[in-house]
Chain A
C-alpha cells in the first residue's frame, strides 16, 4: 500500500533526486536552452518520473513520441512501446493507469479522433493520464497542417483541457499538469494541447529545470477509486450491475457518476490556479477592445496589439490557458470594460468564440475572428484588419488572402 515515508530527497535509478514539485518549478535554477517543441516534450518527460509511455506515429507528434523512446532506452521511463493505432494506444494507456502507473502519450488530429471513445472512459474511470495533443487538421482531403479544430471535440469528454502557447508553457505545464491531474479530488486525465508545427517544429529558448531533479513518483493509492493491482481487498462492487437495468437506481447511479466527473473538473480549478498562476493571463483589460485567444493565436495577437498601438488603437489581451476548467468568471471580469471582444482562432468553426459568447454578458460584443484553418498562418495584420474593419477604420486589402 501507500508508502508512509516521503521519497523527496532520495534518488531514482538514474541518479535524479525526487524533488518537491513546487521547489523544482519555482525555486530551482533554470538553464536557458534552444530547443524544438518536440525536444522540450522529451526534456519535460526526463523530469516527470513517468512509468509508462505508449507511442504511435502521426505527424506532427511523431518526433516527440520517438524522442521519448530514446529516454526509455536511457532508462528514464519504466516501459515504452509502439501501439497499433490510437484507439489501441489510448486503451493501453488506460490499462497502465488502471494498474497504478503514471502514464504519458502524445497524439494529433485524426489520431485524436480515432481514439475518441477512450477519453470519456478515461475520465469516467478517473485515470490521470496525460496526453499531449499537437493539433492538426482532421478534414478530408488529407491535411497534416496545423488546425485546432480537434480541441472542440475534447471539451466535453470530462478531461482537463489546457492549451499551451509556447514551448515554455509546454515544458512547465507537462510537469505541473501531473500535479493537478493526480490530486485526489481531481484525478482526471489531462489533454495538454498545442498548435502542431508552430510549437512542435520551431525552436525557441526554453528555461529548463535542472536535469538531475525529477517529480515525486505517482502514488496510485491516493486515487479516489481503487487501483487495479490486487493490493487492496477486491470488494464486490455492486449487487447488480447497472448496465442492463432500466430502473431509477441505475439511472441515478450513472447520473451521479457523470456529475462527479464534472465536479472533479470544477475542483481542479483551485489547483490549476495555484500551479498556472491563474487560468488566464491578462494585459490592459481596461481597454475598450480586448482580444481573447488561446494557443499560438495569443502570440499573433500580441504582435497585432503592438501594430495597433502604432496607429493609436489601444487593445487588451486575455490569454486563455485552461479550456477545462473553463475560466468563466475570469473571462467575464477581464472583458467587463470591453466594447469589442475579438477571438482569433486557428480553426473554421470558432469554438473558442462560441464558448466566450456563452460566457459574457452582451455577447454581441464578441467578434468571432479572424479565422484561419487548413494550415494557414495567422499574420498579425489580419487581426489588425479585422479589428479596424469593425471599428470602421480604413484598411488596405492584403494580397493573396482573398480580400
Chain B
C-alpha cells in the first residue's frame, strides 16, 4: 500500500477522526530508516491500549510497531490473550481468529499474499503470547518452521497465562507457584529458542524489551531474514507485573534484572549461515546509504 492510498480528500478532511488525520500527516509509513527514535515525534501505529498501567507489553508493542521496516505492506497475526486487547488499535492490518492457530493463519496468509502479489514485498509478522505459541499452538508453531514458511514469529513471554488470571504455562519457570500449579511448576521452562533453531529458524533471539534499540535491531533483522530466507523467531520477556506481584513502575527493573548474563533472559541469538550473509549485505548497504546521505548533507 502506498501512502497515497490513505490520503484524505480535502473536502472530507475536517470530518475525519483526528487519529486518522495524524496517520496521514505524520505516521512513518514508507520511511526507510524508521525506528524507535520516531517515537514521540511522529504518529505511532498504535493509538491507545487497554493493558494494565505500566505493562511491559505496551512498551514492546510500541517499539515493535516503530521498528517494522515495511509497515505499509505488513500484515500481523495475533492470538487470544492480552495482545488481542491491543490489536484493534494497531494501524496495520491484523488478524485474530482463534487461540493458538496464529502460525497456521500466517502460513495461509503469507502464501495467499505471495500468489496475489508476486512482484511485491508483503511481510507477515505473528505476535502472540507464550500460551498461544508454546502450549496450545506448539504444533502449528513448529510445523510452520519445519515447512520454512517465510514469516516472523514473535512470542511475548510473560511466563504464564496472564489474560485468564495467571495460570501455569510451559514457559513458566520451574517451581513457580501459580494457579493450576498449586505446589509449584514441576518441569523446566520449555527451551523454545533452542527448539526454534533445531526446527529450522534462521534467526532466533531471546531478550527482554528493556532497550528499544535492541528491539529495533532484532525486529528489522527478523523481518528481513524471514522475507528472503525462512522462518525467524523472537522470544521477548514482557513480564506480567500484576501476576508476579510487582507495581506499575517496576516492569522495567524486572526486565533489567532478568537479562543479566547469568539470568534466564540474558541476550541469546542464533543466526544461520545464509542469514548471516544476508544481514552482512544489508549492513553494508545501510553503511553506504548513510555515507551517501552524510556526503549529500556536507555538500549542502
Tell me if B108 counts as interface (CB < 8 A to partner A): yes
Is B109's CB under 8 angstroms from A83's CB? Answer: no
Tell me if B6 counts as interface (CB < 8 A to partner A): yes
| Nearest-Cβ distance from residue B186 to partner chain A, whole angstroms | 28
Smallest CB gap from A79: residue in B: B111
Tell me if B20 counts as interface (CB < 8 A to partner A): yes
Is B5's CB under 8 angstroms from A231's CB? Answer: yes
Is A98's CB under 8 angstroms from B109's CB? Answer: yes
Residues on A with C-beta less than 8 A from B85 are 241, 243-244
Stretch in B96-104, B169-177, B230-238, B274-282 touching the partner: B96-104
Is A230's CB under 8 angstroms from B72's CB? Answer: yes
Residues facing B in A233-273 (CB within 8 A) are 233-241, 243-244
Instruction: Classify the secondary structure of B's interface with A.
Output: helix
**Could you say which of B92, B110, B122 contacts A234, with CB atoms under 8 Å apart?**
B92
Residues on B with C-beta less than 8 A from A87 are 101, 104
**Could you say which of A118, A229, A236 contacts B122, with CB atoms under 8 Å apart?**
A229
Q: How many interface residues does B have (CB within 8 Å)?
A: 47
**Could you say which of B88, B109, B115 contacts A238, with CB atoms under 8 Å apart?**
B88
Tell me if A35 counts as interface (CB < 8 A to partner B): no
**Could you say which of B5, B97, B106, B115 contacts A232, with CB atoms under 8 Å apart?**
B5
Q: How many interface residues does A have (CB within 8 Å)?
A: 45
Is B139's CB under 8 angstroms from A52's CB? Answer: no
Tell me if A281 counts as interface (CB < 8 A to partner B): no
Residues on B with C-beta less than 8 A from A83 are 104, 107, 143
The contact string, 1 if C-beta is below 8 Å from chain A, for chain B 153-177, is 0000000000000000000000000
Smallest CB gap from A229: residue in B: B113
Tell me if B255 counts as interface (CB < 8 A to partner A): no
Tell me if B219 counts as interface (CB < 8 A to partner A): no
Is A243's CB under 8 angstroms from B84's CB? Answer: yes
Stretch in A2-10, A89-97, A184-192, A365-373 touching the partner: A89-97
Residues on B with C-beta less than 8 A from A97 are 108, 112
| Nearest-Cβ distance from residue A73 to partner chain B, whole angstroms | 15
Is B94's CB under 8 angstroms from A228's CB? Answer: yes
Residues on A with C-beta less than 8 A from B55 are none
Most chain A CB within 10 A, of B20, B77, B95, is at B95
Q: A95-B97, A228-B109 are in contact. List 5 more A-B contacts (CB 8 A).
A: A91-B108, A97-B112, A99-B113, A236-B90, A241-B50
Interchain Cβ contacts under 8 Å between A and B, 23 examples = A79-B114, A84-B143, A88-B143, A89-B104, A91-B98, A95-B95, A98-B109, A99-B110, A100-B112, A101-B111, A121-B97, A228-B75, A228-B109, A229-B122, A230-B75, A233-B5, A234-B93, A235-B91, A236-B88, A236-B90, A236-B91, A239-B48, A241-B50
Interface residues of B (CB under 8 A from A): 1, 5-6, 19-20, 23, 47-48, 50, 72-75, 77, 84-85, 87-95, 97-98, 101, 104-117, 122, 139-140, 143, 147
